[in-house]
Structure 1
Amino acid sequence: MNKLSENNTRLASLDILRGFDLFLLVFFQPVLWVLARQLDVPFLNGILYQFDHEVWEGFRFWDLVMPLFLFMTGASMPFSLSKYKGVSGSYWPVYRRILKRVALLFIFGMIVQGNLLGLDSRHLVIYSNTLQSIAVGYFMAAVIQLHFSFKWQVGVTLLLLLLYWTPMTFLGDFTPEGNFAAQVDKCVLGRFRDGVYWNEDGSWSFSPHYTYTWIWSSLTFGVTVMLGAFAGKIMKEGKTDRKRVVRILSVAGLVLVGLGLLWSLQMPVIKRLWTGSMTLLSGGYCFLLMALFYYWIDYKGHTRGLAWLKVYGMNSITAYLLGEVVNFRCVAASVSYGLEQYLGTWYPVWLTFANYLILFLLLRAMYKCGLFLKV
């Protein structure tokens, strides 16, 4: 738990961009979907298309939400790790904090998507959630930043991409059934892989409809977090010339987008596999978003109309956990059930809106009290 006064030295753009990402995830998108279904207006279909994941090959706006979450984790690391790096002659104090965070994120991920609270081992899923990808990517990025110079950090990051690319290219294809990453998940996770369904005779099978991969994709999760760390390093070391920081972030973003599109000619952009081309493409978009927010907020000093996003950004893990696990619709229904007779088919829209409004009010109260839950 941290107090607000301890966070005054933070770059506002980091918290606001992270908050923007979480606001999209735990307010805007779910409310937009239920509202659009109720309105049933054809022109909204194009918007809804961008607020859903690509089925396989390609990239939509909604496919950027998870990479941005990982990227922002990395962007904060040069600031957070500098507090502990070199404090004593031993790395154990900083690794103790890192391992604690990794363990908590992994457990939280199992609570959100791994059926941990179901208390049923048959449906327990080990590795299947955004928080767990953050945990693995964060650990890899932390090791790289603690033990390598900047030049070697770039080299190791490129090596991770090469390690990912080699078997994906030569030991499989890029189809849902034939890709190498899916075979690794099936072999290592077995019945603890997401998408497993149980038959009446007690046997289990892999669902052909579940196409996300995690274990081999951890290599590119680490790359995404490292890209964020590079952005954080640029901002941390360029605070005396913020205009130059904007230029570097923008150029880096454009270069990464170009490289990602070029690589997609050989390795398709597939978010469900977190392919190398998708990693560079999404990383480039993240750099461009970071440049935009940094320019407007930290360089120009404009926060009016945006500061409220810190409510999400400074309690991002709490926002994600509550938004994904706790159903506040029950609270809304308990105190507003009388509205159903007047709202009719709009009542479910109200319950969805109220669900995420209650979450926002809780996060806002925590923000006002200076209560920030960290892992």
Structure 2
Amino acid sequence: MNTHSIPSNRLASLDILRGFDLFMLVFFQPVFVAFARHWKDVPVFSFLLHQLEHVKWEGFSAWDLVMPLFLFMVGAAMPFSFEKYRANPDKRAIYKKITKRFVILFILGAVVQGDLLSLDPMQIRIYTNTLQAIAVGYVISAVLLLHLSRKGQVVATLLLLTGYWALLTFLGDFTPDGNFAEAVDRAVLGRVRDGVTYAEDGSWSFSDNYRYTWVLTSMVFGVTTMLGAFAGQIMQNGKDKRKNSQLLFTIGGVLLVSAWLLSFQTPIIKKIWSASMTLWSGGLCFLLMALFYYIVDYKGWSKRLNWLKIYGMNSIVAYTLGMVINFRSAAHSLLWGLEKYTGDYYSAVLTFANFLILFLILQLMYKLRVFVKI
């Protein structure tokens, strides 16, 4: 854990965009959904509720961008933190850091979503969470950034994307049961895959409802993280921020067009992170990065957005506490008297209070300059 002042040369747009992503995940979405479900028959709320849930298979919603944006932002920060290690032939120090971060993220992912705290080997799931996808994408990107030239990084990223596309195209189809990434997960993870259910006699089976893939999909976790790294390399050259923002916008548009063209052959499917989805989400991430970079770092219009740093500069704490710790009991202890006045809305009030408590914790950490880094 580090306690320090905010570095003056820190790229503010990175922290603010990361904070925006975390705010959507651990405040806005759960609170909005808790209230808006009471008004789901109103067209505007019905549309927004649809955008704030994952698409079942083919297609893409706003909520499907949250996880890719996490990986993209990790990549965007890497050129800044890795710059001093690239020219050093002795890379033991950076690889020690990479290994430590990978292990911690993987363990935290198991705590958040892998039932590690159940202390029951039959319940623990090995590879099933965004933090673990970040860990894998981070390692892949780290190796490419440390050992390849800029051109080599682009080529390697294209090979990862093309290789994943080819494996899914020629060794299966794009249905929930027929895709190759699903087959690899079942073969490699087996009973420790998320979605596995156990019968009383000890036999187990794969759930028909769980369709997220991880093992083979790690290839494109690396691609998404590298797309963020390419954005970071553009922003690292701070001489002409206006030109940088234009380039980010342009790349985002090119990726979206490429994704749309590829989608005629490879559907956009977030659960298996299809190649077209990788390009589509990457394009949207580039556009968001361009927008925040233009507003915050070029125009300097960050005053009304700085509060997002409360989330962005303690992202691991925000995510882990938001996913693991339930503050509803504390909220209920204080607010139970409101139940008779709020009726069906009382659950939504508790949801709001739960994430407000988390916000206040993060705000206190920010004021005290306590930033938890891995």
Give the TM interval when normalised to the shorter protein: over 0.9
> How far has the Cα of 1:93 moved from its partner?
0.4
Aligned residue runs from structure 1 range 139-150, under 5 A: 139-150=139-150
Aligned residue runs from structure 1 range 8-87, under 5 A: 8-43=8-43, 44-86=45-87
Correspondence 1:228 to 2:251: no
Q: Distance in 2 between matches of 1:120 and 1:314?
A: 34
Match of 1:343 in 2: 342
- 1:28-51 per-position Cα deviation (integer Å, ceiling 9, x unaligned): 000011101234442211110011
Q: Distance in 1 between matches of 2:357 and 2:5?
A: 26
Aligned residue runs from structure 1 range 356-367, under 5 A: 356-367=355-366
Do 2:40 and 2:49's aligned partners in 1 also have CA atoms closer than 8 Å? no
| Consecutive unaligned residues in structure 2, runs of 5 or more | none
Match of 2:99 in 1: 99
Q: Distance in 2 between matches of 1:3 and 1:72?
A: 22
- Give the counterpart letter for 1:134 in structure 2: I
Q: Distance in 2 between matches of 1:124 and 1:67?
A: 25
Q: Give TM-score scaled by structure 2 length.
A: 0.98
> How far has the Cα of 1:341 moved from its partner?
2.2
Match of 1:265 in 2: 264
Match of 1:197, SS state, is: strand
Correspondence 1:113 to 2:88: no
Residues 40, 49 of structure 1: alpha-carbon distance in 2 compared, 3 angstrom cutoff: closer
Q: Distance in 2 between matches of 1:39 and 1:4?
A: 45
Do 1:85 and 1:94's aligned partners in 2 also have CA atoms closer than 8 Å? no
Q: Cα RMSD (Å) of the superposition? A: 1.0
Match of 2:194, SS state, is: coil
Match of 1:326 in 2: 325
Q: Distance in 1 between matches of 2:3 and 2:295?
A: 26
Residues 224, 135 of structure 1: alpha-carbon distance in 2 compared, 3 angstrom cutoff: same
| Consecutive unaligned residues in structure 1, runs of 5 or more | none
| More displaced stretch, 312-321 vs 35-44 | 35-44
- Give the counterpart letter for 2:236 in structure 1: K
Match of 1:189 in 2: 189
Match of 1:56, SS state, is: coil
Q: Distance in 1 between matches of 2:256 and 2:207?
A: 33
| More displaced stretch, 217-226 vs 36-45 | 36-45
Aligned residue runs from structure 1 range 199-348, under 5 A: 199-237=199-237, 239-348=238-347
Q: Distance in 2 between matches of 1:109 and 1:341?
A: 38
Q: Distance in 1 between matches of 2:347 and 2:183?
A: 41
Do 2:35 and 2:348's aligned partners in 1 also have CA atoms closer than 8 Å? yes
| More displaced stretch, 277-286 vs 40-49 | 40-49
Find runs of 4+ consecutive structure 1 residues off by over 4 angstroms: none
Q: Distance in 1 between matches of 2:3 and 2:159?
A: 39
Q: Distance in 2 between matches of 1:358 and 1:84?
A: 39
Aligned length: 373
| More displaced stretch, 173-182 vs 37-46 | 37-46
> How far has the Cα of 1:8 moved from its partner?
2.3
Q: Distance in 2 between matches of 1:315 and 1:223?
A: 25
- 1:75-118 per-position Cα deviation (integer Å, ceiling 9, x unaligned): 000011124443x5411100000010000000000001000001
- Give the counterpart letter for 2:28 in structure 1: F
Q: Distance in 2 between matches of 1:275 and 1:8?
A: 39
> How far has the Cα of 1:122 moved from its partner?
0.8
> How far has the Cα of 1:317 moved from its partner?
1.0
> How far has the Cα of 1:200 moved from its partner?
1.5
- Give the counterpart letter for 1:123 in structure 2: Q
- Give the counterpart letter for 2:67 in structure 1: M
Percentage of pairs with the same residue: 58
Q: Distance in 1 between matches of 2:58 and 2:89?
A: 48
| More displaced stretch, 18-27 vs 1-10 | 1-10
Q: Give TM-score scaled by structure 1 length.
A: 0.98
Q: Distance in 1 between matches of 2:313 and 2:85?
A: 20
Q: Distance in 2 between matches of 1:40 and 1:71?
A: 32
- 1:292-324 per-position Cα deviation (integer Å, ceiling 9, x unaligned): 001111000001211000000001111000000
Q: Distance in 1 between matches of 2:40 and 2:221?
A: 37
Q: Distance in 2 between matches of 1:48 and 1:371?
A: 35
> How far has the Cα of 1:373 moved from its partner?
0.3
Q: Distance in 2 between matches of 1:84 and 1:176?
A: 42
- Give the counterpart letter for 1:155 in structure 2: V
Match of 1:170 in 2: 170
Do 2:86 and 2:147's aligned partners in 1 also have CA atoms closer than 8 Å? no
Do 2:331 and 2:354's aligned partners in 1 also have CA atoms closer than 8 Å? yes
- Give the counterpart letter for 1:335 in structure 2: L
